[in-house]
Each structure stands twice: as structure tokens, then as C-alpha cells.
Chain A
Amino acid sequence: MNPVFAKEAGKVVLMMGNEAIARGAIEAGVDFTASYPGSPSSEIQETLSQAAKVFGHHAEWSVNEKVAFEACCGASFAGLRAITSMKQNGLNVVSDVLNTVNLSGTKGGVVLVVADDPGGHSSTNEMDSRLHAKLAELPLLEPSTPEEAKEMVKYAFELSEKVKLPVLIRSVTRISHARGDVRLGEVPARNRKPAMGFLDRFVGHPIIHPLLHLRVSQVKAEFEKSPFNSYLGPEGAETVIAASGPSAVYALEAVHSLGLDDQAGILKIGASWPMPEEFVVKHLSKAKNVIVYEEVEPFLEDNLKVVMAGAVMGGQPVPKFYCKRSGHIKGAKGPAIGEMTPDIVYDSLAAILGAKGRQRSPKFAAAEKKVLEWKLPAREWAFCAGCPHRASFWVIKNALKEDDREGVLIGDIGCYSMGVGKTGYNLSRTLQCMGAGIGFANGLGNLKDFNQPVVAIAGDSTFYHSCLPGLVNMKYNKSKMVFIVLDNSGTAMTGFQPHPGTGKNALGEPTDQVSMEKICAAVGIETRVVDPFELEEAIQALDDALESREPRVLIFRHKCALIEGRERKEDKPRVFIDQELCLGDECGCNRFCSRVFACPGLIWDESKKKAVIDDVVCTRCGICVSICPREAIRLESAPKKKAVRRKN
């Protein structure tokens, strides 16, 4: 069994922050869990889904974040405890209902965990979700470690039930995707019975706004004495470092390592909105310098300044703030951009306090300069070896070229987002948020003097998440566009979670499959399903759709190579390059296979000046067999396949 589910309280287990968050919900006796995956949050619901069989709570992958949160609110209206988790973009999808349910209030505890991605390791933005808490006037907690994240989840359920509001917990990559030793707590028996009494009504209306303010003031009173807010250091220190999230841990280490323990105190703010004003004033009123560390936006910084501006009315001097807005706290790209790192904290702290900073040895200082001359190649993201998206982009590239009207490809969010880069032949013109591609294409397909064909793509999970309104609109308003669903049978980018098209639920049990081709057919759009590995047939299908000059849907269906590899029992025939047939640089193909097709499994042997297959990387998908003009790429123990389409 997963050690995260162990019943022995007191046991220490290595947990990912996301697992700790899930464990916190389990230790709070959660009844209902629903989410949509998104990095870096996905493992929270994954863990809760696995845990459902052990602890008996409900677990689901919902169709999108809004439905997930609303389902959680539904459970709450009946008196149950519910949790949802999402990445920062997901909170935008939820924000409509978040700004009415704050007024209507909730009943059973509702916790919304949002895992932000400062620096955008796997996101199209680095939005700071904390501003949503301020916008919706909801309580906000910010953990600094995986262990604290677990404790905060437990507390968030209690707080939510006390003040009848959803509680937001803001995680970040360095919590969610960090691991640490976490001590297990008790798992209580669950015995809540869902019921909606006559007076259980949840109506959002401005008339209730004063009630929301009353509730927020109750939360503020709680936060004034919250154990998640603490001060560590000498009493009355001249310098106070205010920090939230993992930045508080970096600050602690830096202060110690730079030998500043006697000089600077650390004000850690974990229960951060509404601001615990009296607590803040108590610890900052004697400070001359306040240094603020947080990621990404100056959220804590601005709130502290507002509090201090109000507090100095009594005549105290205003402390000097060293922060993002003052330009003192910044990474390589400037303040309030990218992740906070220990390096930023060490260097800025040493500079501000005039302490001796860290210096690299002469050898490494020299290496730091030399490395720029070495021009080490960067690692751009790429479709995996065997990825069906490579085939799909190859098809689209060839079809648009043949069509010869400068057709445009409108992208969307998923593994195929990488289509903006080399691996997708730089075809995608847009990359924004889920479901935006079909929307943009709806507009482009309805421009009177625009003669370039419009092709939009979306993945299978994205199709269900947010493409349905765009699909209906393209029929209703007759937008001349081809919508291609790149169906690889799972939510691949975030770890292969099931979705309504897979016929499996979050627990891995069979459920009713919602067919995307039937949906498209019901809307009345001509729809064809093709396998992109059948290059010729797929290119023809796209050619036909472009010719029709009316709304069309194509479903390019081929299972993700990673899922397929996991499920496959027996070996596939090895793919190899016949070294007799490959002419290398003599061929005239200009390294077509390795250079143009861009599969990481197909490499160039510099010593022999010929192409080779790297059998550690190759997944034996065989798609490259048909692209070599010399037919030198072959499947072991298989007849030669006829070559098709050799466009460069």
C-alpha cells in the first residue's frame, strides 16, 4: 500500500508536497474530492483518487476546474467536507462561481488548493493566484513546507465550517513538487450524513455583501493568533524579514548561513489574507528595515505597506521597505518575475545588510565565464520518441503545404503546445489557455477577406474541458475552419489521467464513455476519425476538409506512446537503419530523417556520417520507416514499407 495512506499516527514518511496536501484532507476526514489535472497540482487528486478505495471518500476527475469546484460546493451544501485542487490557470476557470459562492456562503468545509507555477516550468503564465483571494474576499493560507501544507489543509476545513466560506490554500511548485519527511497524523472515522434542510439555501446576491465582510473580520481575528504566523529572532530587531511560502525557508537558511541571527528577525506569514494587522504591527513597529521575500507578485509587500501606512498614524516612523517595488529583491529578469530562489535571498540579504556574501572559488568563477563560450546546446522540449503528435504535425505540415494557401494552425494547451517549437515544425501560431484555440479559429474562420485556411487543434481532454461552446459556435455561426482533435487517449501532459472519452473514472473503474465523434455529429458537423500514423490517409483527409470550406472536424486518434508502452506486454520489432542503404551526407536528402523529422530516437552518427537509431530512446513506433527516400529505415523481421511524402 502507498505509505501515504498508512494508519500509524506518528510515523515519518517521505512525501511529495501534493501527497502531503492529500494526506491533510484524509486526516480531516474529507468526504468528497474532485479536480481537473494541471501541473504542478495533479498529484493531489491522483493521491486522493487512489486513497478513495482505502478511506471510502468520493473521488473524481471532473471535466474542468469549474465543474470540480461546483461539485465540491454541492457536497458542502449537503454538509460534507470537500476539496478541489488545480493549477493557477484553473482558478481563472473557477473565478466566476468563486465570486458568488463567497456571498452565498457554504456549509460543510470546502477547501480550494491552487498550485501556482512561478517561473512557468509547465505553464503559459506565472500568475499569482493570491490576488484571487483578495478579489473574492476569501481566506488564504500559504504553506512553507510540505508538512505545513498538510496541517494547513486540516485547519482550512475547520475554518471553512466556522465562517461558512471556501478557504484557499496557495501552494507553489517548490511545495507541490518538493518532497520532505512528513509525520502522519490520526485518520478520523467519517460519519457525516449528507442532507439539505429547509433553511439550507445558497443564493449569491449583493444584498449579502455585509455578511461576507462580517465573516472576513471573523477570519482576521483568527489569523491574528494563528500558529501559521510566527516571528523568529531577537525581540525588537532593527531588521525584520517578512516572508511567505518557501521564501520563508530560504530566508531562514540564509540568515543562519550569513551569520545574521543576532541582527535580523523573520516574520513568517502563513495565514496571509485577510492580513493579521495587529500581529504585523506588533512585529514591524520597532523595525527600521523591512525586507520582503515572496513569489511572484508583491502581494505580501503591498499588504504590509497598507497596514503600516495605517499604523503610523500614531506617530511611529515608517520602516524602510527593501522589496520588489523598491528594486532590491529581483532575479535575473527583474523584480516580480520568475521563482524566488535561495540565491536571490542570499545575495540581496548580504547586499542590503552589508554582510559578506558568498563567493565562488577562482576556478568556478572562471568556469562561469568560460561556459558562455562553450555554447552548450540547450534542451528544448520535444515530443517523445513515438509520440503521435509528431505524426499529426507532420500531416498538418504536409497538408497545408500541398493546399498552398498559407493556411494557419491555431494551437491549444496540452503536449501539443510544443507545436510552437521545432518539434512541431513551428506550426502553431497561438498558445494561450485551454479551449482558446477553437475560439480564436471561430473568429478567423468568419473574416470576409481572409483567404488563408484556418485549422485549430485541441487534445482529447481539452476537447471536453472547454471546446464544446466553441464547437457549437462554429456550427451555429458557420465559421469556415477545420477543428482537429489530437486524441491520444488520456490527459498526457499531466500524467495520463482519464477523461470522459476514456471510459474509465478516477479510480480506474469502467464508466460510461462520452464519445467525442457522437458529440460532433450531434452538433451537425461532418466528422472523420483517422490514425495520423497512416500518413497518406490523414493528409488526404485534411486536404478534403480544407477543400470543403465549411466547418469540419477531424479526429486524429492514436494512443500516447507512453501509455501504449505501459500497457504493451510483448516486444515490438526493432527499428534500425540499414547502414548499406543509408548514404549519409552523400544522399542529397540533407539528413532528412534526423534533421527535419526531429525525433530524439533518430540520431546522426558523426563518426560514420550516417543516421542511426538510438535504441535506448526509440519506442519502436515505426513511423519513420516511411519517411526515408532511400527506404533505409527498416523494421527488423518486417517487409519494407513503401515510402510516402518526402517534403522538406
Chain B
Amino acid sequence: MKMEKEPLNIIICGVGGQGNILASQIVANAGIKQGLKVSIGETYGASQRGGSVMSHIRFARSFHPGPLIPKGEADLIVGFEPLEALRVLVDYGKDETRVIFNPRPNYPISVLSGEARYPELDFIFKELKELAAEAKVLEATELARKAGNHLAQNLVMVGALAGSGWLDDLPLAAFEQVIGELFEDQAKRQLNLRAFNEGVRGISQARPL
């Protein structure tokens, strides 16, 4: 997606503890490297504690965008969890919205306690397919495990976004540079770069829904 549309609105959504904030920071910094104006709004009072977490990332060239995306205005949604991807798509999606998501569920306490039901995955997939202009599934947790740590699924998903071809203005090299600068520890840097590249590779082979 070229920056013909202003602002470009991306949402990264998931559950507390999945590394949402780090992911949004990397995407935003990649934009700054390209001279874009950027804003992130994040809700993480409940981070680490099982709540829904969502980061709004907005890029523009001609003005400084505010921290929140209006409902129905997301261009891209990156879902770290399928239920959250669907929830956010219904609220923030429009006919042109494209989605990448990790299909691995994370069960809310109300589901564990038997008071609520987690929807069938097939149902979530069907609705995502129907609503999104394009939806791609990526087994990010498995790819992260392959890269060395299942917790690096956030970097796999960032790689998937970077390699999706939906962000023409942000070259892969900008992401790699940001990740290189962000992690001072050599081992962590290597792990995160491996996970990022798994995402880039993975999305090129990912099945559309």
C-alpha cells in the first residue's frame, strides 16, 4: 500500500503478554526511517494480565496523525490471536481492510471457567474471510519456535507484515535496521532477526483464507 492514502492505519491486536507493544514500536520506527510522521496509540493497562491489547499505528506525510484510529478506518490488521483479529475487524474494518493473523487461540478465563464459549475456529475463519478484502493465516507461534523461541511470534508477525507486499513504502531493510538497533544483546538480536525472517518467508507462502 503506497502512502497515497493519508493517514495509513494499521492495528496490531492480541492479548496481554504477547509482545504487542514491541511489535508496534518496530513498525513505527521503520516508518520514521523512511521519513514518515507516525503516531501510536496503545491500550495496555491490562498488558501481561490477559486483557485484550491493541496498538493503533498511523503513518502520514503531510500532517501529524492523532493516536487513535476512528472505527471503520483500519487499512491493515495484524492479529496475534484469531478471536481478537475478528473482534477488531468488526469494529475497525472496512471493505478494503486486509488481515494477517496467527490462528493459535488464547482462552479467556470465562472460557476456562465454562461460563463462555470460545467460537469454533472454522467460524472465526469464515467470518474473517467474508469481512476482509484479503485475509492470510500464518502459524506464527510454530515459526517462532523454529526460530528458537515460541514467544517471538510477535517478530514473526512483524516479518509477515513487512513481507506482505502491503507496505510498499517500508522496505524490509528498514525493519531489519530497526531490529538491529533495538536489541543490544547479540543473542536476542539474532533470535529476533531469525523470527522476523521466518515471518517474511512464511507470508510469501501463506495460504489466503
Contact = CB atoms under 8 A, between A and B. Distances in A.
Interface of A: 12, 14, 39-40, 117, 121-123, 145, 147, 173-174, 177-181, 246, 249-250, 252-253, 341-343, 346, 358, 360-361, 363-364, 367-368, 371, 374-384, 415, 418, 422-423, 562, 591, 594-596, 598, 600, 602-604, 614-617
A383 B25 CA distance: 26
Contacts of B50: 379-382, 384, 423, 600
B93 A616 contact: no
B186 interface: no
B38 A180 contact: yes
Given A177-B44, A377-B83, A367 B90 contact: yes
Given A179-B40, A180-B39, A377-B118, A122 B46 contact: yes
B70 A598 contact: no
- For the complex of A and B, 4 pairs with smallest distance between CB atoms: A122-B45, A121-B45, A377-B116, A178-B67
B72 A364 contact: yes
Given A246-B67, A253-B65, A602-B112, A379 B52 contact: yes
Contacts of A382: 49-50, 108-109
A334 B51 CA distance: 24
Contacts of A616: 104, 141, 150-151
A179 B28 contact: yes
5 contacts: A181-B38, A341-B68, A364-B95, A378-B110, A379-B109
Contacts of A363: 95, 130-131
Contacts of A361: 94-95
A173 B56 CA distance: 14
Contacts of A603: 107, 112
B29 A14 contact: yes
B188 interface: no
Given A12-B32, A381-B50, A360 B72 contact: yes
Nearest to A339: B68
Interface in B112-147: 112-114, 116-119, 127, 130-131, 141
B180 interface: no
B173 to A, nearest CB: 18
A342 B69 contact: yes
B66 A253 contact: yes
**Which has the most chain A C-beta neighbours within 10 Å: B15, B50, B65, B93?**
B50
A383 B49 contact: yes
B48 A384 contact: yes
B15 to A, nearest CB: 7
Contacts of A378: 108, 110, 116
Q: Which of B66, B68, B71, B87 has most A Cβ within 10 Å? A: B66
B106 interface: yes
A179 B25 contact: yes
B117 A418 contact: no
Contacts of A180: 37-40, 64, 67
A249 B37 CA distance: 14
Contacts of A562: 48
B95 A381 contact: no
Interface string B13-33: 001010000001100110010
Nearest to A359: B72
B50 to A, nearest CB: 4
A362 to B, nearest CB: 9
B72 A358 contact: yes
B83 A595 contact: no
A180 B41 CA distance: 9
B86 interface: yes
Given A174-B67, A180-B40, A250-B66, A604 B112 contact: yes
A600 B50 CA distance: 8
A605 to B, nearest CB: 11
B104 to A, nearest CB: 7
A121 B113 CA distance: 24
For B49, B64, B65, B110, the residue with the greatest tally of chain A CB atoms inside 10 Å of its CB is B49
B121 to A, nearest CB: 11
A398 B133 CA distance: 52
B28 A177 contact: no
B46 A381 contact: yes
A384 B87 CA distance: 23
A8 to B, nearest CB: 15
A598 B49 contact: no
B43 interface: yes
B39 to A, nearest CB: 5
A384 B38 CA distance: 32
A377 B150 contact: no
Nearest to A175: B67
Contacts of A423: 50, 109
Interface string B67-103: 1111110000000000100110010011100000000
A174 B68 contact: yes
A56 B5 CA distance: 45
Contacts of A121: 43-46
Contacts of A422: 109-110, 113
Contacts of B43: 121, 173, 177
Contact of A617 (B70, B95, B106, B113): B106
Contacts of B108: 377-380, 382
A378 B119 CA distance: 12
B64 A145 contact: yes
B1 interface: no
Contacts of A602: 112
A253 B110 CA distance: 38
Contacts of A177: 41-44
Which of A121, A253, A368 has the largest number of chain B CB atoms within 10 A? A253
B22 to A, nearest CB: 12
A172 B94 CA distance: 29
B111 interface: yes
B117 A377 contact: yes
Nearest to A358: B72
Nearest to A365: B72
Given A250-B68, A342-B69, A422-B113, A364 B40 contact: no
A266 to B, nearest CB: 13
Contacts of B109: 379-380, 382, 422-423, 598, 600
A14 B38 contact: yes
Contacts of A617: 106
B104 A368 contact: no
Given A180-B40, A361-B94, A368-B90, 9 more contacts: A40-B45, A180-B64, A379-B15, A379-B51, A380-B50, A380-B108, A384-B49, A602-B112, A603-B112
B70 A346 contact: yes
B170 to A, nearest CB: 14
A178 B42 contact: yes
Nearest to B96: A361
Among A249, A364, A379, A380, find the residue whose CB has the most chain B CB atoms closer than 10 A: A379
A426 B130 CA distance: 39
B202 to A, nearest CB: 17
A44 B148 CA distance: 34
B114 A595 contact: yes
Given A14-B25, A598-B113, A39 B90 contact: no
A418 B49 contact: yes
B49 to A, nearest CB: 5
Given A367-B90, A380-B110, A381-B46, A179 B66 contact: no
B90 A179 contact: no
Contacts of A174: 41, 66-68
